[in-house]
Structure 1
């Protein structure tokens, strides 16, 4: 990408978006030239709307060069300079961007001058482009794409362009989300996605405008916080899950696998994505069976994928991470598996979030508040249990890999000595 193309977009970026066909011609010097054919379809093309009498280009000819040489006389110097991508240097008005669209692999793009749009020229080196496109994690990119779809739908309803978006459009979008009582965290992601779209394409960022900043601050001050109704899974609830798992119709193999998953996600303060991504090589059990360690290759707070080791000590009772892992490894080894994902059921399917949640809901089906439990209830329960046992705040943050005081939102129905914090 040389910086003269914006996209791809999943929806038309303009209401009157014109999509023209692409062509490819071989260069005499080697390689190929991609052409945006603005003359098709004949009779209804972009070029058909341009007056040939008023806007027909005239090029310098060899006769013009000879005439200049004759006029200057003997001894004059003549040079020829070839400007690469010359037509890309011709400015295009932003009002005409909608006329320069094309479609590739089901997505829409816009081509326009890089000089006028003040693009930062990107290297054609594929590695540089790869680095630019991967400045955020795949999960963040998916969240941004989902957010942009919401913004695009809004802009299409309002019949305004979403890229580049105006400050007034972003302000209207913030007000629209406030009227819909959208969660503050959701709107924050929406604005981050809009900002990322403009920054990556080196367009003026409307989100940075002071008006947008003040509008979002007002949103944060006035909107009603949504009460988190999720319940914690504490040791007592875990015992209930264990009892229901034992009498379930699952085979013995699956019972061992799921119980290990339930114990590990609780004792390790894990997120569901961190748990289900564990592989055999990430698990290490001490020789004296006093400790089990597992390495998180990536997590929400480890965007650079440096990895993080979680250590769980042996415990008495049925909620013992060491014994749960040892049983899990035994049945997995017995099935002939020695590598790959740790959590695989008897049908050789990698356990997904929906499968995990389905078994959890089944085990809690008789609980009066079963709808208020989900995969994050284990992490909430781990923090709540630690606080009830007067574990110092810094240890709770360390165990849950929290970098701020947001861990306090996970602690439910417990009075903690402020001196510990």
Structure 2
């Protein structure tokens, strides 16, 4: 049996080949390809047909059209935070129905010990603050200090951080720090780096870049060489993109030691890649009359 999905499962497997949790990758890819286990553990109960919700009863034609489309396509769209199209409606399968009834729903048949979800409540945060007292600061996991340590935010006075005009000016200057073509290449390189980090369990968000070591950069180059099949020159551009992103976010240059020298082991790895790939420079031919004549004809 194969499930119908718009996801390219083969490509997804390739993208997740370096993911540290192989069990999760197998569960995700097999679920998309063959279908996920609903975790319903009971099948010896009577069947009950639940009444549709009011929104479904009031728009019978819309619901019928949606069901037919689902049957034709073989999968369910959504959920969406807002309507993707003004003239369309989304079909919702209420697996918790019937509510407050002696008859059980689909969700009631699922073992809560195997499938459960708990949201973090504001009461939990209040309880922690009350426990540790006034002035408590809430942090996530604090990484150990490294050479890429970020500059302290308190170094910039509040009057400057709140200056809208200067903030926009600084943003504009950063935009013009490199040429448009170069910036595009930098963004591509940094995107590959972020994807590499996420695939290997290193979290990232746009406001707090992960503190990377020389070893992480070396393994990224190995990833570019073995998986992405990139040339030595492209790898150097990607490293420049990483450096640009970190400098722009207020970090020290991740490609340098605390003494301002280029990372020595990373340098050797790049030389190794260049040596393996060899020189790709083509043979230069002399400019002759025949060359000019051919160029003019073309």
In our comparison, the structure showing a higher alpha carbon Rg is: 1
* Range class of TM-score, shorter chain: 0.3 to 0.5
Structure with greater contact order relative to length (CA < 8 Å, sep ≥ 6): 2
User: So what's the TM-score if we normalise by structure 2?
Assistant: 0.42
